[in-house]
Structure 1
């Protein structure tokens, strides 16, 4: 990584641990502090559109969306101005914070930014029986749990593939979750825009509102927080789509693909040069094997709990 354009360093490039897909570093120079992200190019699940995402980020920053200032983007490295703030824990956020996140979503969706083409989404993979067999043969610590849930994962894949997702399509962040947010003086700051692209508005709202309204599992979901996101979205001019299970199809599909990707990294059994550490991949695989069937089994309960 050539970072000379950022100024003379005043300290070493320091690894910041915890990224689920890429690797993050902090660099302090005489020009300030920067977040330097090394993109994982070894086994990405999709092609990263660096130029398009950077242009989208620039437009959002210019429009006053609370976020880290985008500095530069290349095929393998992203640079943003460092933002100090408190990490958002994976627990229900205050309703006022959720309301502001909803407002931010509406502002993002209202941006007039051209996006070249809408990618065709591939159907979810159906190779879960084979993955369970490989996990058992290689002695993965979560292999027995995966083997016992193969039918559930096949049902989840069918749901993601066939569920109607209310639109319209919007250009958006696509991944506003607690781990991609900071709290600065109690107000949200949106980070990590790499997944930006077109998405049905129901998928964006369902994913964001549910993630901010719950803890690590699904036993503590606060409907008031869920609805605060939607209230903020409507107050800022956004239009809510028709309610239904499709609100959660994008979230479930994303988690399904993320779990499968981490399973493959675990099956390889080696520490990759980029992307999450092997230990984090094992944690993500185990969480997906346990959590996804639980979420899928509670869809009807969620619909009733969170109905308008």
Structure 2
């Protein structure tokens, strides 16, 4: 990495723990502190348009969206000004925080930023029987659980493939989750914009509101917090799409794809130089094999949040 333009380092870059897809470092120089993200280029799940995302980020930053200042972007590295704040636990957020996230989404969706790439839904992979066979043959610790749930995973793939998205399609962050948020004096700061792009509005609102209204699983969902995100969206001029399963299909499809990607990394059995460590991929695979069937079963209860 050539980071000389960021100033004279005051010490070595420090690896920041976590990272479900990429790897993050902090660099302190005589020009300030920077977040340097090394993007996974070995087995990225989808194409990444660094120039378009950087343009969207700059527009959002200049419009006053609370976020780290974007400094530079390339196909394999992102640099932002380091943002101080408190990490958000995976738990229902305070009502004022939820309301402001809704407002921020409405402001984001109102930005006029050119985006040439069309919103295209890739067909969902249906190779779960083959993955289960490979997991068994290679002795994966979660192989028996995956084998027992193959038909459920095929049903999830069918739901994601066939669920109707009512629109409109908006240019948005697409990944507002607790691990991509900070709190600065109790107010939100949005991190990790590299998944930004076009998305059906219901999918963005459902994923965001649900992530802020629950704990690590789905046993503690606060309907009032879910609704407060939507209240903030409407208060800032946003219009809600009609209720239906489309509000949760992006969340379910994203988790399905992420679990499959980590399963493939586990099956390869090699510690890669980028992306999550192999032990983390095993955690994600095991949790996904157990959690995704439960998530599908809860879909009628999730839709009740829209009443």
- Aligned residue pairs total 307
Name the CA distance, whole Å, in 1 between partners of 2:244 and 2:99.
21
Name the CA distance, whole Å, in 1 between partners of 2:287 and 2:140.
14
Equivalent runs, 1:50-69 vs 2, <5 Å: 50-69=50-69
Name the CA distance, whole Å, in 2 between partners of 1:173 and 1:301.
26
Name the CA distance, whole Å, in 1 between partners of 2:95 and 2:150.
37
Equivalent runs, 1:94-173 vs 2, <5 Å: 94-173=94-173
Runs of 4+ in 1 over 4 A off after TM superposition: none
* Structure 2 gaps, min length 5: none
Q: Give the CA deviation at 1:119.
A: 4.0
The Cα RMSD (Å) is: 0.7
Q: Which secondary structure does the structure 2 equivalent of 1:296 belong to?
A: helix
Q: TM-score, normalised by structure 2?
A: 0.99
Q: Which secondary structure does the structure 2 equivalent of 1:228 belong to?
A: helix
Q: Does 1:179 align with 2:179?
A: yes
Q: Which secondary structure does the structure 2 equivalent of 1:19 belong to?
A: coil
CA contact (8 A) 2:119 2:199 kept: no
Partner of 1:261: 261
Name the CA distance, whole Å, in 2 between partners of 1:60 and 1:307.
28
Partner of 1:208: 208
**Please, which moves more after superposition, 27-36 or 279-288?**
279-288
Q: Deviations over 1:179-228 (max 9, x none)?
A: 11111111100000011110010000000000111111111000001001
Q: Deviations over 1:88-147 (max 9, x none)?
A: 111111111111100110010000001003142211100001101111111111111111
Name the CA distance, whole Å, in 2 between partners of 1:117 and 1:279.
35
Q: TM-score, normalised by structure 1?
A: 0.98
Q: Which secondary structure does the structure 2 equivalent of 1:11 belong to?
A: coil
Name the CA distance, whole Å, in 2 between partners of 1:265 and 1:175.
22
CA contact (8 A) 1:102 1:230 kept: yes
Name the CA distance, whole Å, in 1 between partners of 2:206 and 2:166.
11
Partner of 1:302: 302
